[in-house]
Amino acid sequence: MSEPRLRAKELDAADGLAAQRAEFLLDEGGGGSGGEAVYLDGNSLGALPAAVPGRVEDVVRRQWGELRIRSWTEEGWWTAPERIGDRIAPLVGAAAGQIVVGDSTSVNVFKAVVGAVRLARSADTAAGAAGPARDEIVVDATTFPTDGYIAESAARMTGCTLRPVPPSGIPDALGDRTAAVLLNHVDYRTGRLHDLPALTAAVHAAGAYVVWDLCHSAGALPVGLDEHGVDLAVGCTYKYLNGGPGAPAYLYVRAELQDRFDSPLPGWNSHAEPFGMRPEYAPAPGALRGRVGTPDILSMLALEAALDVWDGGVTIEAVRAKSLALTDFFLECVEAYVPEGRVECLTPGPHGERGSQIALRCPDAGDVMKRLIERGVVGDFRHPDVLRFGFTPLYVGFADVERAARVLAEVLAEVLAEPGT
């Protein structure tokens, strides 16, 4: 047995989170011609937690099928958005009462960015600021495209100019015209982890408000929203939180800002008297202001069941430690198996700059990933030349990592040996 395989066995034997793997339904024998399946695409869609199918069946057959409308009160459907938000809160370093679950990430980005602009302007008005109006939204120039689209629309709606800036240039780009800054915690292409504490402090020093997109960090590493004074944050729940395809996203509004948060999407669900059916809008107190319309109960309660995997003492700190160990070991295995120069790692080496994925560049990445998937090693491809491998510590083991690197080396050798390559 090769040295990396022996090392994988040792690491798996010492893994304090190894038992969590049983909490998921994994295709252990679905690896095609190469053995067991290795699922390294949890940064796109998390695996299915074992508790979800039975819970969803109960929601459909009993709660909807038998209790019907009584379930809004008897089964807690009405309070699900804030109840589930409170379960997510510890995973992102937030106290209860600051997160509401519902809508998509894109919709929540829109609420948060427009809300941040309004917060900045209302703060200046309250302080009697004599300087120029805050009319600029700064956005991470490397952001996921949708965030950029939403920020541009929010800028039009609020009469702001949109200014794309790389995260490293954010502190120097801020000024007295900056109203809101939208940033990704982890770069979706490269897995680079940006410095949330320092960037948040820089935004605040300029008198602006920050919105963080946590899609690629929540459930994989500590975030510290409360500790670092983050204003607003959004995130999806179908990646490292394993909520399922299309699972509802969430919106965080810091407690101190909730009474001034002015959502651009006021709906009956966020009204102070939702069943009063009044023509005039009056916002509900607290995080409830982030609600809009009727909650997506089926997907929301599937997410609630998925969050059970965090019960029983699993901490985000332990998950982060294993995430770093998995990504370190993957890079070691790639170095051991793949000829030098065949791939280029785009993910930073220092732990403080790395999320929970590894991005490798190679010229034939699309074909390589297709062949990897055929052999049961599932990652994903990002145009034009990036292989992405996501490491979800709750169900990925070190033997998975070793096998993925070994099969990658085999596929790369095949592709290189083919005529015309």
Q: Which amino acid is at 399?
A: A
pLDDT for 210:
98
Q: 19-73: per-residue pLDDT in tens? A: 999 999 998 655 544 457 899 999 999 999 999 999 999 999 999 999 999 999 9
CATH (domain of 288): 3.40.640.10
> How far is Cα 215 from Cα 395, in angstroms, rounded to an integer?
19
Q: Are 226 and 395 in contact (CB under 8 A)?
A: no
Instruction: State whether 277 and 382 are in the same domain.
Output: no
pLDDT for 28:
65
Q: Is residue 142 part of a domain?
A: yes
Q: Are 304 and 84 in contact (CB under 8 A)?
A: yes
Helices 316-337 & 3-13, crossing angle to 10 degrees? Answer: 170
Instruction: State whether 304 and 367 are in the same domain.
Output: no
Rounded to a whole number of angstroms, the distance between the first and last alpha carbons of the chain is 31
Q: How many domains does the chain have?
A: 2
Q: Is residue 164 part of a domain?
A: yes
Question: Is 275 annotated as catalytic?
Answer: no
- Which one is catalytic: 103, 213, 296, 380? 213
Question: Is 144 annotated as catalytic?
Answer: yes
Question: Is 239 annotated as catalytic?
Answer: yes
pTM (predicted TM-score): 0.96
Cβ neighbourhood burial of 232 (10 Å; 0-12, 13-18, 19+): buried
| Count of C-beta atoms within a 10 Å radius of residue 131 | 10
CATH (domain of 322): 3.90.1150.10
Instruction: State whether 250 and 110 are in the same domain.
Output: yes
Greatest CA separation found in the chain?
73
- Which one is catalytic: 188, 238, 337, 395? 238
Instruction: State whether 337 and 240 are in the same domain.
Output: no
> How far is Cα 74 from Cα 63, in angstroms, rounded to an integer?
9
Instruction: State whether 227 and 121 are in the same domain.
Output: yes
Instruction: State whether 353 and 298 are in the same domain.
Output: no
Domain that residue 328 falls in: 3-48+313-417
pLDDT for 34:
47
Q: Are 323 and 220 in contact (CB under 8 A)?
A: yes
The alpha-helical segments, DSSP class H, found in 44-91 are 52-58, 71-74, 80-88
pLDDT for 125:
86
Q: Is residue 385 part of a domain?
A: yes
pLDDT for 32:
47
Encoding tokens for residue 160? 């702001």
Question: Is 238 annotated as catalytic?
Answer: yes
Where the chain has pLDDT below 50, the residues are 32-34
Q: 241-275: per-residue pLDDT in tens? A: 999 999 999 999 999 999 999 999 999 999 999 99
